[in-house]
Amino acid sequence: MQKYGKTLNNGRFFPIFYNFAEKFNVSAMKYNAVDFKIRCDEALMQTCRELLADAAGEAGFESFEDTEEGLKGYVQADLFHAVQLDEAIQSFPIEGVDISYEVSEVEDQDWNETWEEQGFDPIIIDERCIIYDARQQGDTPLCAHLAPLRIGIEARMAFGTGTHETTRMVVSRLLDLPLEGKRVLDCGCGTGILAIVAAKCGAREAIAYDIDEWSVENTLHNAELNDVSCITALCGDSSVLSHVSGVFDVVLANINRNILLADMRHFAEVLATDGTLILSGFYEEDVALITTEAQKHGLHPVGTTTENNWACVTFKR
């Protein structure tokens, strides 16, 4: 079982979800595991997996992993739209493909135990920043020569540890920016890793927001772990920006493609003159689409990095 979500070709990212409900006073979520069996030509299996995951994502699914016979998906029981899923399977765009599935309940405790046991190994970015699992490493000193910037993260039901290519690319870009005294916005903050990196690099203030309450709590917790006091975390989507005054020198968004496209206008509105917008969470083939939308709002690309088909694009006003 993978302990992280999977971003699909449509750019939708499905985050980690573990059971820390008691610690964060959040109602425990009940998940279903759905085992999809795909019968098709072997050469078409991966394409079928991606198309099916895309359709299942529209029916409420949050995370997927490949299986020998097809795909396994995870969905909150209350958000499982079975009728919509069945309709999507019946109208599957590739002829001759047969798809069936079985639904089972997921034990909440299993998620927590898997994460507690495995955690994540330290990640070194450009030999300048090391991100480590604060839960497992604790106060154990890491070799100073590995990286001058050390950040401990406890991922509690939130995405953003540096294990994913998109996070690493955004962190790398941040390390290249002159952030001293800057004001930073972290959209879809997850664990708060990007806001924390910005603060550690000299940002005077970082505003972060996420639609998930546990991500907001996790961001504040990780900020405290790293002795960072300039981060404010808000719960909500981009609409929370209407309650935030002023503009930002740097805006960061490592979230799914469709949300990036929908929120591009908001990013542009709060970006200062000569400000920097860094976007990731999508594939290389989506770069043109993201760039076109950004240009509609007066933003132009100044750099693109890629890793394993994931992309990160930097824009300037």
At residue 302, the pLDDT reads 97
- The CA-atom distances, in angstroms, between 237 and each of 12, 81, 114, 221, 233 are 15, 23, 29, 20, 12
**For 103-112, 136-145, 306-315, which range has the lowest pLDDT when averaged over its residues?**
136-145
- Contact assessment for residue 111 and residue 158, using Cβ atoms and an 8 Å cutoff: no
Q: Averaged over 6-26, what is the pLDDT?
A: 33
At residue 256, the pLDDT reads 83
- Comparing CA positions, the residue from 122, 208, 97 lying closest to residue 158 is 208
Give per-residue pLDDT as tens, 151-200: 988 876 545 666 788 999 999 999 999 999 999 999 999 899 999 999 99
Query: Which residues sit opposite 129 in a β-bridge?
Result: 125, 149
Of the chain, the end-to-end C-alpha distance in Å amounts to 42
Q: What is the pTM of this model?
A: 0.69
At residue 13, the pLDDT reads 35
- Measure the CA–CA gap between 69 and 140, rounded to whole angstroms: 42
Give per-residue pLDDT as tens, 259-303: 899 999 999 999 999 999 999 998 899 999 999 999 999 999 999
Average pLDDT, the chain: 84
Angle between the N-to-C axes of helices 213-225 and 193-200, in degrees from 0 to 180, rounded to the nearest 10: 30
Q: Averaged over 102-126, what is the pLDDT?
A: 69
- The CA-atom distances, in angstroms, between 116 and each of 21, 62, 134, 135 are 15, 21, 11, 8
**For 8-17, 33-42, 51-60, 294-303, which range has the lowest pLDDT when averaged over its residues?**
8-17
